């Protein structure tokens, strides 16, 4: 979010300012600085509109012209989140593949998205958009388009010449992995084609996150928003499932993106099935140990 030069103006209430200089220190663009006891604008064009300068002021003395102080939400001063409870919150979140028939209201879905919009985005771009499918026909249509994409891919991988051409693009290892797993994948889509929803599992809503900008940055923005939305759903006693199949079809096929309503120039980065879980998990499955690399990088 960029501002014109005339928008990057601010006022400091001299009677409330404690001269802590946190506003200048927290600014990622080094837009302004303190000279003696006076604050000055250095690079107004570098303002990304993050609002940190206003948010960090301990006395509310700082006000940004484009980010009026009265529009900010008050933060709870207590940051004491119980670590064990937070850990359990992360661990107990599971992908839901068993939904009830309960429909979700537009208000409920908007509340989830409202919380997701506070997720971080690179350079504070805030460029994520959400498409919401909340009727069976629309969700079914996306399932049919995704199914057609994968069954076509199955036929293409059976052709050695096409398989070689695809390998030159995505790599031989990826193609070998696809061929190994494809019988199971194809079964999912044949079942879906025959009326058994093995793609969205009967979820009453599907939320698609897409973002503008460079594709790899756009996908990162979508993923962060999606994770925040999934945790918000957990708090609302709702289940979610990140759907990589539908995401791949949307990412690879421009015509599907166009038909589903993703704006031109936007990259899909997350597809989430959302609904009320039919059953709750009673324990947490084990996971592999985290693999961490601690490189020792010397002078080159």
213 touches 125 (CB < 8 A): yes
Q: What is the C-alpha to C-alpha distance for residues 206 and 237, in angstroms, rounded to an integer?
A: 16
- Percent of the chain residues past pLDDT 90, beyond the cut: 50
pLDDT tens for each residue of 50-59: 888 888 888 8
Tokens of 169: 């693009």
Pairing of strands 266-275, 205-212: antiparallel
Q: What is the pLDDT at residue 2?
A: 43
Query: Which residue is associated with the tokens 């009265």?
Result: 70
11 touches 27 (CB < 8 A): no
SS3 224: helix
For residue 233, pLDDT over 80 is answered with: yes
Tokens of 184: 């199971």
Q: Which residue has the higher pLDDT, 226 or 85?
A: 226
Residue 206 burial (CB < 10 Å; 0-12/13-18/19+)?
A: buried
139: alpha, beta or left? (left if phi > 0; alpha if psi -120 to 50):
alpha
pLDDT tier for residue 17 given thresholds of 50, 70 and 90: confident
Cβ–Cβ contacts within 10 Å for residue 23, how many?
A: 24
Q: What is the C-alpha to C-alpha distance for residues 201 and 50, in angstroms, rounded to an integer?
A: 39
Q: What is the pLDDT at residue 77?
A: 61
Query: Which residue is associated with the tokens 């324990």?
Result: 283
183 touches 189 (CB < 8 A): no
For residue 237, pLDDT over 90 is answered with: yes
Q: What is the C-alpha to C-alpha distance for residues 52 and 29, in angstroms, rounded to an integer?
A: 11
Average pLDDT score, the chain: 88
Q: Whose CA is closest to 99, among 222, 244, 243, 254? A: 243
pLDDT tens for each residue of 96-155: 999 999 999 999 999 999 999 999 988 788 899 999 999 999 999 999 999 999 998 888
Q: Whose CA is closest to 129, among 73, 70, 207? A: 207
Q: What is the pLDDT at residue 8?
A: 65
115 touches 292 (CB < 8 A): no
Q: What is the C-alpha to C-alpha distance for residues 90 and 234, in angstroms, rounded to an integer?
A: 10
Tokens of 115: 């919380």
Q: What is the C-alpha to C-alpha distance for residues 5 and 183, in angstroms, rounded to an integer?
A: 58
56 touches 26 (CB < 8 A): yes
Helices (H), the chain: 22-26, 52-55, 83-92, 106-116, 136-157, 160-170, 172-193, 215-235, 244-252, 254-260
Tokens of 141: 């249509």
**What's the predicted TM-score (pTM) here?**
0.85
Q: What is the C-alpha to C-alpha distance for residues 249 and 185, in angstroms, rounded to an integer?
A: 13
């Amino acid at each position: 979010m960029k501002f014109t030069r005339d928008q990057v103006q601010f006022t400091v209430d001299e009677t409330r300012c404690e001269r802590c200089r946190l506003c200048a220190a927290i600014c990622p663009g080094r837009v302004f600085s303190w000279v003696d006891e006076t604050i000055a604008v250095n690079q107004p064009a570098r303002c990304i509109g993050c609002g940190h300068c206003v948010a960090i002021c301990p006395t509310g003395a700082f006000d940004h012209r484009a980010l009026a102080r009265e529009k900010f939400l008050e933060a709870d001063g207590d940051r004491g989140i119980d670590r064990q409870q937070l850990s359990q919150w992360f661990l107990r979140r599971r992908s839901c593949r068993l939904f009830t028939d309960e429909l979700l209201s537009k208000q409920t879905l908007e509340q989830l998205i409202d919380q997701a919009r506070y997720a971080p985005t690179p350079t504070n771009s805030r460029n994520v958009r959400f498409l919401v499918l909340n009727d069976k026909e629309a969700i079914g249509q996306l399932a049919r388009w995704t199914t057609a994409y994968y069954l076509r891919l199955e036929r293409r991988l059976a052709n050695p010449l096409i398989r070689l051409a695809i390998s030159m693009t995505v790599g031989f290892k990826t193609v070998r992995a696809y061929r190994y797993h494809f019988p199971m994948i194809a079964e999912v889509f044949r079942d879906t084609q025959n009326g058994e929803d093995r793609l969205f599992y009967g979820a009453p809503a599907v939320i698609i996150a897409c973002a503008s900008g460079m594709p790899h940055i756009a996908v990162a923005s979508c993923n962060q928003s999606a994770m925040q939305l999934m945790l918000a759903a957990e708090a609302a006693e709702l289940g979610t499932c990140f759907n990589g199949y539908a995401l791949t079809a949307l990412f690879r096929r421009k015509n599907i993106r166009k038909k589903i309503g993703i704006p031109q120039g936007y990259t899909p980065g997350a597809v989430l099935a959302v609904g009320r879980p039919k059953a709750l998990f009673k324990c947490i499955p084990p996971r592999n140990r985290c693999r961490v690399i601690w490189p020792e990088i010397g002078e080159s």
